[in-house]
Amino acid sequence: MQYGVSGFLAPDGNFYECKYGEHRVLAVELVEKFNINTFDGDSNKVPDFIKFGFVPGVGKEGDPGSCHAFIWQEPTPQQLIWLHANLEHMTGVQQRSVLSWLDAYGIDV
């Protein structure tokens, strides 16, 4: 099994995958598709979306410098379903990040 997810998780629970280095292009496409007016161009902070990234080949544990998950707003119920179903596919670094974000929002897993 390969570990690590890369892309954006939409509020409706659909995951839009992209490869390392392609987040900015995908972010612009999603902003247009979902008609988001508050996007400031930072692909790490696409409103309503959860961003995942990793450098291929980092292995199951991952690397704190190259693996991440950014959850800037409380996840929707659909996003939570996806997170629970796909946690095992993430690197250890991504898993800990997701669990930390969920804890910050008072969401018990």
Q: Which helix (H) or strand (E) holds 85?
A: helix 77-86
Local structure of residue 88 (DSSP, 8 states): G
Give the separation between CA 56 and CA 66, rounded to whole angstroms. Answer: 9
Q: pLDDT digits over 57-109, tens only?
A: 787 888 787 899 999 999 999 999 999 999 999 999 999 999 999 999 999 87
HSE (side-chain half, CA atoms, 13 Å) at 13: 11
Is-above-0.85 flag for pTM?
A: yes
